[in-house]
Structure 1
Amino acid sequence: MDLINTQVQAILGPQTWEEVSLIADICTKNQIPIFSFADTIPEWTTEKWPFLLGASHDNFAQMKAIAAIVQSWNWHQVTVIHEDVGSWTNGVMPYLHDSLREIGAEVRQFVGLSSFASSDSLSRELKNLESEQCRVFVVHLSLPLAVRLFEMAKKLKMMEKDYVWITTHHITSLVHSIDASIISSMRGIVGVKSYFSETGTRFQDFSSRFRKRFRRENPEEENSEPGIYAVQAYDAIWTIARALKGSKRRNQELLEKVLQTDFHGLSGKVQFNNHKMAPTQMFQIINVVGKSYRELGFWSSGLGFSETIGKHATYSPLMNDLEQVLWPGGPRYTPRGWTEFTRKKPLLVGVPAKSGYKEYVKVENDQSRKETSFDGLAIQIFNATVRRLPFYLPYEFVAFNDISYDNLVDQIGKKFDAVVGDVAIVASRYSHVEFSHPFSETGLMLVVPARSSNKEWSFIKPFTKSMWASITVITIYNGFVVWLIERHAHPELRGSMLHQIGIMLWLSFNTLFSLQGGKLHSNLSRMSVVVWLFVALVVIQTYTANLTSMLTVQRLEPTVTSVEELLESNAAVGYCSGSYLEKYLVEVLRFPRDNVKHYASAEDYAEGFNKKEIAAAFIGTPLAKIFLAKFCKKFIAAGPTFNIGGFGFAFPRGSPLLASINEALLKVSENGTLAQLENNYIGVLQKCQDKEEENPSLSPNGFRALFIITGGTSTIALVIYIFCIASSFSGLTTIRGLMFIIIKHWCYQSKRFSRRVSNVESLGNSSPQHAPNQLSQV
């Protein structure tokens, strides 16, 4: 109020939202512009307090820079330590959370510290963080609180190997002003610093005057270089001066002049947008080394990291192209970002010792050697996955003897660091654990007893419809050819049209079973019948063999076809002991709790079916296939597969190992190792199912050559017969002509002979004395 009473033109300086909110209302009522250097100014303040202006650049972009640092080293989780102040918690933290999610990382937890936290409180919070696996910390605190935090972290040996500390510009931009004795406790941190150019005559002039005055007023301070806040304050004063130059009043007109400001100041572009300074697009990345710090490079919004800035700068999305980072503890290799397991402290992996399916998990105790062996598909897949990790991970299997899988999962983070086995991925278990990608098929199958299928029409199944049609056509055709050839030699093949058709059909199919060589008159019909009989024998033998195979192999049908049928009949159903299925069957599928019974193994299921205790069983797809393979002739799957479950490896929620495990598991799947392991452990069981596959009905494709031979033979016989008939008809006409000529000639000669005989007789009667001479001449 004293400042207002003295008729000040503007007020500069509040650095926190809490300070701003105390005086913003008063300044608005008196129409005095107030320049705030707080990080966050809510959107709603524009209407409520129009004279409130943000004098510092919008630093939300720095959260993108921090996310880019996290992405550069492939860290997937971070812990955020922030000052427990409303404006910081609600203003900046959501942007950091969203920026990390965009690059596939997440905040493991937010840790809020009071601005007046005691040493004991800081120690307690840091010890809690030390017990967690995550080792990447993003620190967003005021400088005094940050200094105390790092001093305590150094005492607790948390500024050593495998720890990562990333600081926001509130700390990093003021590192140059920290005493050398204090900065040594911050060795190894990487920070984001607000960038402003330190070249140019304007800055050099300002820096010279600032250092002189600062040394005069603070002779005990070692460093007198101007920081980002000094530069921003200088630009704010210049903004007010430029606005007052064109205005004689301090009310709305002055505010409008300020909002129209547009010039290039020492801190960068000075221009207001919605009462806030334009956002910063560039930050400097520094690394604290020894008692000072070194500049690694720059990060530019939308471009990435670079060693320099300007037209000739080259950008990269990762920090790898910048100078080598010196991490806490001195190592030059990049920390993993989570606590490292060692041979003395390996990853403890819980394994269900009472799994009902030894193909997936097999735990055996050797009492003589006092050793426990672990085997099975799930165990071997985990072994193969760990071998594909880009780092060494010592681990140790520990048997869990409780039958409940939910209790096993509950031990993660307490007794175990992970769980491996036939553990289903269920949403209810995600409250405190996370799962890897499934390494088995997902789904839930309904298994019921099987019964033999109806065989009344089995006799037609050996051949397809097209095969039966082909046999009918070729048989009738061959019968027609034989009938046509033999009809002139056999009177019984002639008669009325209906009679001849019946005889032809009878003759066609009769040749399938007898040669009838003695009854056939023509060699052509015999040739046709012999070839067709050979083909018929092959067809009949093939039909007999396929029909025998079909009748021998048992056809199975489910006794129950759907869940609705089970519910309507009030039937009892079974599920695997210790699994999540009881809750699913009761709450989702609506089975009465009394009708739901649990069984421990495949043999127990079979016994329950045999004793009529249950009418069906709900089993996860991977285990159901093993069960059906063991009892392939007694049980069968029915209905649709329910899309739930699948087996996966369980880890504590937020485990930094999970991303690496998922990547390694994908490699195991893609290189064929997963398929090979499945074949070794459960592939042999598929043979039983293979035997139950139906024999396919035979089609004409396999008999095409035989049909062509017999059809061709009959066609040749038919052609020869027709040719012979035609030839015989032509020869008969010629013979008849010759016979007519011969007969005509014979008649002529007979008549001539008769005349001669009659002449001789007449001469003998008239002159007997000349008779001897006449007779001698004849």
Structure 2
Amino acid sequence: MLDYVNASVISSMEGVIGIKTYFVKDKRPFISFNRHFKEIFQSKYPEEYNFEPGIHAIRAFDSIIVITNALNSIRGNNRSPSMLLKSILLSNFTSLSGRIHFQSRQLWQSPLFSIVNVIGKSYKELGFWSSKFGFTENNKSINDDGSDDNMEALEDLVTWTGNLKHTPKGRVMLTNTEAMRIGVPSKTAFEKFVKVEAISNSTEKRYSGFCIDVFEEVLKIVQKKYPIRVDYFPYDGTYEGLIDEVFYKTFDAAIGDITILANRSKYVEFTQPFIESRLTMIVTAKPEAQKAWMFLRPFTKEMWVFTSAILFYTVFIVWLLERQSNPEFEGPWRNQLATALWFTYSSLFFTQRERVHSNYTRVVVLVWLFVVLALNSSYTANLSSMLTVSRLESSVTNVEWLRRNNAKVGCDADSFIGDYLVNNLKFKMDNLKKIHSEYDYPSELQTSNITAAFLELPYEKAFLLENCNGYIATELPDRFGGFGFVFQKDSPIAASVSEAILTLSENEKLKQLEAQWFTPSKECLASQTTITNDNLNWQSFWGLYAFSGITSTICCLLFFIHRFYQRRHQVKEGYSTTNHEDLSIELVKLVDDQLDGHSNMATNNQLLEPVVISDVSSYRNPHLS
């Protein structure tokens, strides 16, 4: 159909690859037909611009020749439709479109197509293809043996859009003679991201900032695939208006600190984000007040509970192991418990003076003293840090406190954050104050015109670079899509830019740019304070607790096993035979004696006197009598 398309339309199809039905044009029959066709067609349709016969005219002429020959071959008056069809199917000659010969009521010769490439207002033939012979660069190489060359052999002959010689990855937006129109926000609150300045004695602008540097690095990678050029155009409006300009094709793309949001993605194409974005809250800081219960703060509540639990467990084990062999544990159970508690508690300060008699107790106390040493050192160091290092605390507790007290809050005037605070965090519109410059935030916070400022995470970093004293930033759980570049919907350039951003992230070029623009000064690094939880928790000491508890338990079990075998040996000396019931009773009696203290204290870990039990029924617990 290219023969019938207007030349202006063909010029807009540059780089397109298509097919045409091939027929021979350099033989005498076609030359004669072509001359007569032009004369007749031009006389009847002088307003047309193309008088060359196409494949449809050629096939129409061949059809007339076939029918004429078929009618002439029928003799007499017997010219029925069936006879005419039979005569047509017997045709066998070469005409303008090729050989006319039917087999099974179909043309025997498969059609031959020429592969064409549109260039300018015309096209060139790259090669040929037929269903029987496949691809070939020359129609003369087509023979009965066939040729099945691959289309890749023709790739080097193709001229793509923009006069490219390599295969493009997708639809190319612009040619190398055109420059992409890039919209840049000129009215930004934080100049570290985008800054547009007028050049003296010139109508041109100077563009700088973190986002500009990132795009320039991306452009270097993309230009290896596409010979594109860009022109920057400042846009003095809101971010929503800039995105609309891309949607309405005023700009081919927009770059800057533009946040990726779901409602924006419906109209434009975003690239991969090149920096993270989430909601943060900045408030003024005040010195941390000293509290009466400061001495409890080095440990968390859970830490105190676990420490108390392991302390009382150790007290119980020491009392259980020492009460029958140690004279200091004599007397009523209250005195015994107080002695064990004092012995274990005083070990916290290494002031215990009581002696231990059992080797099992010595092992328990040795492990416990190691735990005490670790706890004492950690507690002392943490408490000293809390009392000597100056700390700041936030003047605002949380977002709910701001809503409940109808506090005034500030946000960027041209950002979506204002709508987000109203629609998602349920702030009242009257309590919102729009801030137009990063330099206005400190004065608004210090004069209490606003209680808190809500910024995206990149802006928070930029703010604290310039205001590192007297402010505390809190990261909120609200996340956004990050900063990305904006392109028209379904733009193929967007995919290449996203790929380039990932390349910069992987080779750490993005990290280098962030360090270049957002590394705080030495003074700020020294003075910055953040809200951190310095309380030590039990998870840092669970290994020590477990070791102490397991050691105490094992020593207790070994002690009872040892005493059990002592009692069993005494029973064997008193009787020649024993039974399982006797041993069970002895074990019960051993535990009962250990808990009640009914043993001879003078023996002091010596073997107990043999106990003779003649009847199981005669044994009773003394407390049950």
Asked if these proteins are the same fold (TM beyond 0.5), I'd say yes
Aligned match for 2:272, one of 437, 455, 465: 437
**Which residue in the other structure is 2:399 paired with?**
561
When normalised by structure 1's length, the TM-score is 0.49
Report sequence identity in percent: 30
Say whether 1:296 aligns with 2:115.
no
Shift of 1:464: 7.1
Worse-superposed segment, 717-726 or 498-507: 717-726
Equivalent-residue separation in structure 2 for 1:265 and 1:662 (angstroms):
52
Say whether 1:195 aligns with 2:21.
yes
**Which residue in the other structure is 2:56 paired with?**
229
Say whether 1:641 aligns with 2:478.
yes
Shift of 1:386: 1.7
Q: 1:346-403 CA deviation, whole Å, 9 max, x = no partner? A: 76766555533344345678989999875543232122212212156666767x5957
Say whether 1:424 aligns with 2:266.
no
From the superposition, tell whether residues 267 and 566 of structure 1 become closer, same or farther in structure 2 (CA, over 3 Å). farther
**Which residue in the other structure is 1:661 paired with?**
497
Q: Does the residue aligned with 1:388 lie in a helix, a strand or coil?
A: helix
Q: 1:6-36 CA deviation, whole Å, 9 max, x = no partner? A: xxxxxxxxxxxxxxxxxxxxxxxxxxxxxxx
Alignment check: 8 A CA contact 2:195 2:208 kept: yes
Equivalent-residue separation in structure 2 for 1:706 and 1:556 (angstroms):
40
Say whether 1:146 aligns with 2:28.
no
Shift of 1:641: 1.0
From the superposition, tell whether residues 268 and 659 of structure 1 become closer, same or farther in structure 2 (CA, over 3 Å). same
**Which residue in the other structure is 1:576 paired with?**
412
**Which residue in the other structure is 2:81 paired with?**
245
One-letter code of the match for 1:192?
Answer: G
Equivalent-residue separation in structure 2 for 1:470 and 1:268 (angstroms):
94
Equivalent-residue separation in structure 2 for 1:288 and 1:526 (angstroms):
97
Shift of 1:576: 0.7
Q: How does 1:112-261 map to 2 (within 5 A)?
A: 143=4, 146-147=6-7, 165-166=13-14, 192-195=18-21, 227-230=54-57, 233=60, 245=81
* Rg larger for: 1
Equivalent-residue separation in structure 2 for 1:576 and 1:300 (angstroms):
65
From the superposition, tell whether residues 574 and 512 of structure 1 become closer, same or farther in structure 2 (CA, over 3 Å). closer
From the superposition, tell whether residues 349 and 510 of structure 1 become closer, same or farther in structure 2 (CA, over 3 Å). same
Q: How does 1:35-54 map to 2 (within 5 A)?
A: none
Alignment check: 8 A CA contact 1:480 1:504 kept: no
Q: How does 1:161-560 map to 2 (within 5 A)?
A: 165-166=13-14, 192-195=18-21, 227-230=54-57, 233=60, 245=81, 263-265=105-107, 284-287=114-117, 294-297=124-127, 313-316=148-151, 321-322=154-155, 324-325=157-158, 338-340=174-176, 351-352=184-185, 355-361=188-194, 375-389=208-222, 390=224, 400=234, 402=236, 404-405=238-239, 419-425=254-260, 435-445=270-280, 458=297, 459-461=299-301, 463=303, 466=306, 468-486=308-326, 489-490=327-328, 493-513=329-349, 515-517=351-353, 520=355, 532-533=368-369, 535-547=371-383, 549=385, 559-560=397-398
From the superposition, tell whether residues 533 and 444 of structure 1 become closer, same or farther in structure 2 (CA, over 3 Å). closer
From the superposition, tell whether residues 195 and 373 of structure 1 become closer, same or farther in structure 2 (CA, over 3 Å). closer
Equivalent-residue separation in structure 2 for 1:290 and 1:655 (angstroms):
24
Alignment check: 8 A CA contact 2:21 2:113 kept: yes
Alignment check: 8 A CA contact 1:285 1:299 kept: yes
Equivalent-residue separation in structure 1 for 2:457 and 2:446 (angstroms):
22
Equivalent-residue separation in structure 1 for 2:122 and 2:198 (angstroms):
59
Q: How does 1:8-19 map to 2 (within 5 A)?
A: none
Q: Does the residue aligned with 2:410 lie in a helix, a strand or coil?
A: strand
From the superposition, tell whether residues 589 and 714 of structure 1 become closer, same or farther in structure 2 (CA, over 3 Å). closer
Q: Does the residue aligned with 1:165 lie in a helix, a strand or coil?
A: coil
Equivalent-residue separation in structure 2 for 1:216 and 1:531 (angstroms):
116
Alignment check: 8 A CA contact 2:180 2:253 kept: yes
Q: 1:547-569 CA deviation, whole Å, 9 max, x = no partner? A: 5556876676963435xx86676
Equivalent-residue separation in structure 1 for 2:310 and 2:464 (angstroms):
40
One-letter code of the match for 2:21?
Answer: Y
Unaligned 5+ runs, structure 1: 1-139, 154-163, 167-188, 249-261, 270-281, 734-778
One-letter code of the match for 1:473?
Answer: Y
Shift of 1:654: 7.8
Alignment check: 8 A CA contact 2:16 2:118 kept: yes
Equivalent-residue separation in structure 1 for 2:161 and 2:365 (angstroms):
98
From the superposition, tell whether residues 212 and 543 of structure 1 become closer, same or farther in structure 2 (CA, over 3 Å). same
Q: 1:312-331 CA deviation, whole Å, 9 max, x = no partner? A: 52545xx6744513679998
One-letter code of the match for 2:256?
Answer: G
Shift of 1:701: 4.5
Aligned match for 2:441, one of 601, 605, 611: 605
Shift of 1:611: 3.5
From the superposition, tell whether residues 619 and 330 of structure 1 become closer, same or farther in structure 2 (CA, over 3 Å). closer
Q: Does the residue aligned with 2:348 lie in a helix, a strand or coil?
A: coil
Shift of 1:296: 1.4
Alignment check: 8 A CA contact 2:184 2:255 kept: yes
Alignment check: 8 A CA contact 1:450 1:556 kept: yes
Shift of 1:463: 2.8
**Which residue in the other structure is 2:98 paired with?**
none
Q: Does the residue aligned with 1:229 lie in a helix, a strand or coil?
A: helix
Alignment check: 8 A CA contact 2:41 2:51 kept: yes
From the superposition, tell whether residues 315 and 528 of structure 1 become closer, same or farther in structure 2 (CA, over 3 Å). closer
Shift of 1:410: 7.5
Equivalent-residue separation in structure 1 for 2:423 and 2:119 (angstroms):
60
Equivalent-residue separation in structure 2 for 1:289 and 1:356 (angstroms):
49
Unaligned 5+ runs, structure 2: 43-49, 72-79, 85-103, 567-601, 611-625
Q: 1:56-90 CA deviation, whole Å, 9 max, x = no partner? A: xxxxxxxxxxxxxxxxxxxxxxxxxxxxxxxxxxx
Shift of 1:422: 1.6
Worse-superposed segment, 403-412 or 607-616: 403-412
When normalised by structure 2's length, the TM-score is 0.59
From the superposition, tell whether residues 478 and 236 of structure 1 become closer, same or farther in structure 2 (CA, over 3 Å). farther
Equivalent-residue separation in structure 2 for 1:530 and 1:326 (angstroms):
86
Equivalent-residue separation in structure 2 for 1:432 and 1:516 (angstroms):
77
From the superposition, tell whether residues 527 and 695 of structure 1 become closer, same or farther in structure 2 (CA, over 3 Å). closer
Of the two structures, which has the highest relative contact order with CA contacts closer than 8 Å and spacing of 6 or more? 2
